Copies of this chain bind each other. A is one copy, B any other.
Amino acid sequence: MTSLKIVFCFLLISFSAFAQKDYKLWLQYDQISNSQMAQEYNAEIKGIVSLGSSETSKIALKELELGLNNMLGNKIAVKSKFEGSNNVIVGAKSNLNSELLKTIQDDFNAINEEGFIIKFISLKNKKQIVITGKNDIAVLYGVYHFLRLLQTNKSIKNLSIADSPKTNIRILNHWDNLDRTVERGYAGFSLWNWQKLPDFIDQRYIDYARVNASIGINGTVLTNVNANALILTPQYLEKVEALANVFRLYGIKVYLTARFSAPIEIGGLKTADPKDIAVANWWKDKAKEIYKRIPDFGGFLVKANSEGQPGPQNYGRDHVDGANMLADAVAPFGGVIMWRAFVYSEHDANDRAKQAYAEFQPYDGKFKDNVIVQVKNGAIDFQPREPFHPLFGAMKKTPIMMEFQITQEYLGFSTHLVYLPKLFQEVLEADTYQAGKGSTVAKVVDGSLYKNKLSGIAGVANIGNDLNWTGHPFAQANWYGFGRLAWDPYLDAGVIADEWLRSTFSNNENFIKPVKKMMLQSRETVVDYMTPLGLHHIMDTGHHYGPGPWVSNLSRPEWNPTYYHKADKNGIGFDRSKTGTNATAQYASQVEKIFDNSETCPEQDLLWFHHVSWDYKLKNGQTLWNGMALKYQEGVNEVHEMQNTWNNAEKYVDEERFKEVQMLLGIQYKEAKWWRDACLLYFQQYSGKELPAGVEKPTQTLEYFKSLKFPFAPGN
C-alpha cells in the first residue's frame, strides 16, 4: 500500500477516536463481549462494600467502580453496609469485622505485607467476595488482580486466591534528564514537567501511578543514572516531594540517582571521598533533609566509576566504601542503596564481559545490609541476546537485583515490535548452578537462593510523553510484562502475553491465538535479523540505531562493533572460552563446561563464546556463513509473516491502533532487510563466500549503508 493511500485511509477512519485507546494501556475496561462470562459476572457481582476510609481505600473503590461499571455495562451499587449477597467487600485486615475475619484468618498466613486474598466466603449464609490484605496498598493490588480476572474473561466462581509478590523492590528506572530529554528514550520526552512542579500535578502522573499499581510496581527512580546533582537541591526536592505525594497513594516509592560528586557540585565541599567525615556527614544531612519531606523515600540508585561517572575510585576507595557510606546515610530512615555493577575499565579493554564480575565478586559480604547490587541481565549491555551475567549466584552473601532494559536501545527503538518478556524469561530460567542444579537466576533475583532479606528487579523504562506512553503500542506489553515478572519471576511469557492482549485489545480467540504467537516469536525474530548465533553489539555508533558492524574508530576499543564480532578471513566470533579470554571460568563449573566447548555451547550463544571458521558446521549441517545468512533472511521473512498476521487481525482491533501497528511493521520490515543487507555485505568481505540460495540479494552497496547518518536519532 502506498504511503499516500495509507495516509488517506487513516484520515477517513480516525476522526472520532481522538487517540483515547492508546492512552489507556491495559486498563481499557472494555465492556465484556463474551455473553457467557458477562452473565457469570453479573450474577456473581451485585454490589461493592468498601471498608476503608483512607485515601488509598478510596482509590481502590474508585478503580473497582470504574472497572466493573465499564466492563459490566452496569452501575454496580456501592453500599455502606452488607446488604444482600454477592457483594465485593474490599478492605484491609484492620477494617474487617470479627465475623469476616474468622472466615479468612488463616489465609493471612499465606501472604506477605504486599500480598492479597480474594475469596468467596459465606457470611450469614450469604455469598460474598472478599478482597483483603494486610494494608490498603495490598488491597489495591487485590482489586487490580480481581479486575484482571474479568478483563481476561476468567471464571470467578469459587475464587480462592492468596498471592504475594516474590521480590521486595519492583522498580522502574527512568533515564530522564532534568531538561526532559530521555537517554535511550524513544517515546517522546520525560513525563516529569519539572518547571510546573510542585504545584501542577499532571493527570499523567496519576495515570502512571494507576497503571504501575495494576502490575505491582512499587518503586520508581525518577532520574538518569548519568546523574545530575541538582535533583538533590531544595528547589528540586520540593518537586520530587510533590511526585512522591501522588505515588505514595498507589504504593510507589520514589528513589533518585545520587551523583557521587554532589558534595562538591552542590555542597561546596572540596572532595567527595566517601571516607571523609565531612562528606559522610553531608550525605547524612542530605538524607535527613530528603526524609523530612518524603518519609518513605526509597533510597538511591548509583552508577559510579562507570563511563565517566564519578565515584569512590576517584579517591582511591572502592565500591564498598562508596556504597556503605551512602547506606549509612539512609539506613536510619529505612532507605536502600542500589549500587550498579555496570563497570568496565577504560584502562583494560581485554574482555569487557569479564570486568563487572572481576571487580565486584571479591566484595561479596562486605556491603551493609541495606545495599543491593544491581546487575544487568548480561555481561555486555542489553543485547538482543546475552548469556546470563556471571555475577548471578556468584555473590552468596550479597543481595543482587536484576536490571532489565525495557526501552529497546538495541532492539529497534520504539519502531520494532519485540516482546521482551521472552528475553526476560530466558534469563530468569537460566540455571547458574551456583548452589547446585536448579539455582536459577529467578531464585537469585527473588532472594530465595541465599535467603536474602533484600531482593529486587529493575527495568529501564520505555515510558515517555508520547500519547501512547511507549512509542509502539506493543511496547506497552513490555512494561506490563516487566511488572508481572517483577511480581513473580516464575511466570510464563505466554501467559503474560495472553493477559495483556485480552486486557488491551480483545478476548476473541481468533485474535489472541495468532497475535500471541506473533509476540512470542518476535524476540527470536529480532535476534535473527540483527545478531544471530551469538553475535552482539554490532549496532551503529552512539545512537545504536541500525547496523554498524564496520565501526572500529571509537575512542574506547570495547565500544567498537569490530571488537565484538572480530570477523576476519578465518572466521567470526569472540573467543571467551579457555582458549580465549576465559570469561567462561567466571561461571559455575557445570555452566563453564557447557559454554567452553563449542560442541555443547548452545548455538544461540556460539559467537559470544567462540571464534569459529566460516566453514564451521552448525547443527543443521549448514556452514557458519550460510547458516548466518539464512538466519538473517529468516528474520526478514518472519517480519513479513508478522505483517500478514497483523493484517488478518484488522477486524478485531480499533482502526487507529490497527493502522499504527501496521505502519510500524512496514518500517520494521524495511529495517530488517537493511540489517540483513548491511551485515551480510560487510561480513562477506571476510567470508569471501557467495550468499546461499534463499537469501535475497542486497539492493544497495556496502558504501551506501556505511554512509547513512542519523544525527538526530532519539535517545542519544
A-to-B contact residues, CB < 8 Å: 3-4, 6-8, 10-12, 14-16, 18-20, 23-24, 55, 58-59, 62-63, 66, 178-181, 186, 188-189, 194-196, 198-201, 203-204, 206-207, 210, 230, 242, 245-246, 249, 413, 415, 465-467, 545, 656, 660, 663-664, 666-667, 670, 710-714
Q: How far is the CA of A466 from the CA of B467 in the complex (A)?
A: 8
Q: Which residues of B contact A713 (CB under 8 A)?
A: 195
Q: Give me 13 A-to-B residue pairs in the complex whose CB atoms sit less than 8 angstroms apart, sorted by A's number.
A: A8-B249, A18-B24, A19-B23, A19-B203, A20-B20, A180-B714, A181-B181, A186-B195, A189-B465, A195-B545, A195-B712, A196-B415, A467-B467
Q: Is the CB of B667 within 8 A of A14?
A: no
Q: Which residues of B contact A179 (CB under 8 A)?
A: 712
Residue among B66, B245, B670, B710 making CB contact with A3, cutoff 8 Å: B245
Q: How far is the CA of A20 from the CA of B465 in the complex (A)?
A: 15
Chain B residue nearest to A196 (CB atoms) is B415
Q: Which one of A8, A201, A204, A206 has the greatest number of beta carbons of chain B within 10 Å?
A: A201
Assuming A14-B206, A245-B3, A245-B4, is B55 touching A199 (CB within 8 A)?
Answer: no
Chain B residue nearest to A199 (CB atoms) is B667
Assuming A189-B188, A201-B10, is B66 touching A16 (CB within 8 A)?
Answer: yes
Q: Is the CB of A3 within 8 A of B465?
A: no
This chain's copy number in the assembly: 2
Residue among B58, B246, B465, B545 making CB contact with A466, cutoff 8 Å: B465
Q: How far is the CA of A633 from the CA of B63 in the complex (A)?
A: 45
Q: Which residues of B contact A181 (CB under 8 A)?
A: 181
Assuming A55-B11, A188-B465, is B196 touching A667 (CB within 8 A)?
Answer: yes
Residue among B4, B12, B186, B196 making CB contact with A62, cutoff 8 Å: B12
Chain B residue nearest to A178 (CB atoms) is B712
Q: Is the CB of A230 within 8 A of B667?
A: no
In the complex, besides A3-B201, A11-B59, 10 extra interface pairs with C-beta distance below 8 angstroms are A3-B199, A7-B201, A10-B206, A12-B59, A15-B63, A19-B203, A19-B204, A180-B714, A200-B664, A230-B712
Assuming A66-B16, A242-B3, is B711 touching A230 (CB within 8 A)?
Answer: yes
Q: Which residues of B contact A12 (CB under 8 A)?
A: 58-59, 62
Q: Is the CB of A245 within 8 A of B7?
A: yes
Q: Is the CB of B201 within 8 A of A6?
A: yes
Q: Which residues of B contact A670 (CB under 8 A)?
A: 199
Q: Which residues of B contact A10 (CB under 8 A)?
A: 201, 203, 206
Residue among B186, B465, B667 making CB contact with A200, cutoff 8 Å: B667
Chain B residue nearest to A241 (CB atoms) is B3
Closest chain-B Cβ to A563's Cβ sits at a distance in Å of: 27
Q: Which residues of B contact A180 (CB under 8 A)?
A: 189, 712, 714
Q: Which residues of B contact A59 (CB under 8 A)?
A: 11-12
Closest chain-B Cβ to A255's Cβ sits at a distance in Å of: 20
Q: Is the CB of B15 within 8 A of A18?
A: no
Q: Which residues of B contact A6 (CB under 8 A)?
A: 201
Residue among B62, B242, B245, B714 making CB contact with A15, cutoff 8 Å: B62
Closest chain-B Cβ to A551's Cβ sits at a distance in Å of: 19
Closest chain-B Cβ to A366's Cβ sits at a distance in Å of: 38
Closest chain-B Cβ to A395's Cβ sits at a distance in Å of: 38
Q: Is the CB of A18 within 8 A of B198?
A: no
Q: Which residues of B contact A8 (CB under 8 A)?
A: 55, 249
